[in-house]
Amino acid sequence: MAGSVGGWRRLLGSPWWRAGFALPAGALPALAFPAPSLWWLAYVALVPWLLLIRSAPTGRRAALDGWLGGAGFLLAVHHWLLPSLHVFILVLAALLGLLWAPWGWLVRRTLGGTPGTGTTAAALALVPSGWLMVELVRSWQYLGGPWGLLGASQWQVAPALRLASVGGVWLVSFLLVAVNTGLAALIALPRARTAAVAGLLVCAAAGGAVWAWAPLPGAAGTVRIAVVQPGVIAGGANGQRRFDREEELTRRLTGRGVDLVVWGESSVGQDLGKRPDLRARLAALARTVGAPLLVNVDARHAYEPGIYKSSVLVGPDGPTGDRYDKMRLVPFGEYVPARSVLGWATSVGKAAGEDRKRGEHPVVMRIGGADGLRFGPLVCFESAFPDMSRHLVREGAQLLIAQSATSTFQHSWAPEQHASLAALRAAETWRPMVHATLTGVSAVAGPRGEAVGGRLSTSRSASAVYDVPLARGTSVYVRTGDWPVYGALAALAVFCAAEGVRAFRKPGRARG
């Protein structure tokens, strides 16, 4: 046994072996996300990475282990981008992985060596707080947005969804990292096992308290929503064949009493201002079905320069005037950040040849008159942003709708990952969410994040009708916002202040 432990220590003493361990250790949590959906793995997946970092001989080496693990995590979670970005994804992972370097230093500072009970207890708050700061910074839309936040891996776990209604995805991430930190301390720090066990019990008690006492949304009736998913259609985004298939599937909804028909992102490839024939066909569909259509136009605008992705509501008389232009665009997919510097990415991958234009403000639309249903549209990538859905609910939205298209990544984990976000956004806001796509996965989540009806997989070309439960009331998260983030910032500020005081006093002691 001693020889085995000594062998591992010798391996970890090699910088090359450490680097080889750091990459897969950081990548391991990706298996908790769809499509594998090994959600339970998230509670232990960080432990190998934490144990590696705490064993680093120096703070600089710990920061490097954090960087390499962060790059491994990003590559694993976003591996489906490889066909589009090619070698550029390695550059992005390396750059964004740097965000975990300070976290690596923090892990070693609080868990390295033989810390006592007090330091270990502090680590149970500081290590998750540091992780939350990484998630916050990388959630900035210009750095790729909040895709793959650790808490999002729990989209199908009812107690975790209840936590999200109180503190958003941030609270779920915090508790997951706290549990991993406690387990790592339990394994590696015999002197601090009491603190580690106490910390794990606190996490369990916090989760249990939220499950038992957190408020729940009240029932407010149902609304009948139809989703049209044409599937993979040859002929490109602007092709007539896709529109024809969407029209055919929509006609099948006649007589089914739907209140709204939702098409996916880029479902209309020509601006309706330029195509009166398409306007007329959509209006005729609305009359035939007896419900308005929410379509998504991806085209150069007739009256404004540039290409927009716009959610457009069409009634029996044509477009109603309700239009939402996508505000948060996909880096490289819909625009190239700092194109003058990074424009070369278009030559090695499928980066956007022309930047899309951004919308200026969110929009809450209404159907059914003054007392009718109010809903807030989001376009694709925007469903990953907790603040956008929260803002729409605060503006009065009773239903959230995400129009998406992941056909470029049809046979990857991306469609399942994207669809899973509907449950999380619904649970956070107490508002049901419809996730409608061109080629799957389309899904509907109720106000507690529960699945409503069946999902339309990537192999389906169909229309489906959902009786979507509505809810009344305001969730704690909608009322209070990102309080776990502010708490994490406060904890780290106190730690930094204490470290500054300690560093200031050391020279004085040395002189004495």
| pLDDT at residue 408 in the model | 84
Tokens of 96: 């964004």
Distance CA(311)–CA(325), nearest Å, equals 6
Write the DSSP symbol of residue 451: B
CA dihedral 29, 34, 40, 44 (to 10 degrees): 0
| CB-based burial, 391-422: b 16+ in 10 Å, e otherwise | bbbeeebbbbbbbbbbbebbebbbbbbbbbbb
Which of 364, 46, 36, 7 is closest to 176 using CA atoms? 46
| Helices and strands counted in the chain (H then E) | 18, 11
Low-confidence ranges of the chain (pLDDT < 70): 1-13, 235-238, 338-353, 507-512
Write the DSSP symbol of residue 291: S
Architecture of domain 220-327+362-474 in this structure:
4-Layer Sandwich (3.60)
Domain locations in the chain as residue ranges: 2-214+482-511, 220-327+362-474
Tokens of 399: 């239903």
Q: What is the DSSP string of 151-178?
A: GGGGTT-HHHHHHHHHHHHHHHHHHHHH
List of E strands, 405-452? 433-437, 443-445
Distance CA(385)–CA(68), nearest Å, equals 26
List, in sequence order, every residue forming a beta bridge with 315; answer none if it has no partner. 318
Which of 498, 447, 507 is closest to 477 using CA atoms? 447
* In contact, 277 and 247? CB cutoff 8 Å: no
List, in sequence order, every residue forming a beta bridge with 265; answer none if it has no partner. none
Which of 67, 232, 200, 154 is closest to 427 using CA atoms? 154
| pLDDT at residue 3 in the model | 44
List of E strands, 246-306? 260-263, 293-300
| pLDDT at residue 356 in the model | 83
| pLDDT at residue 5 in the model | 43
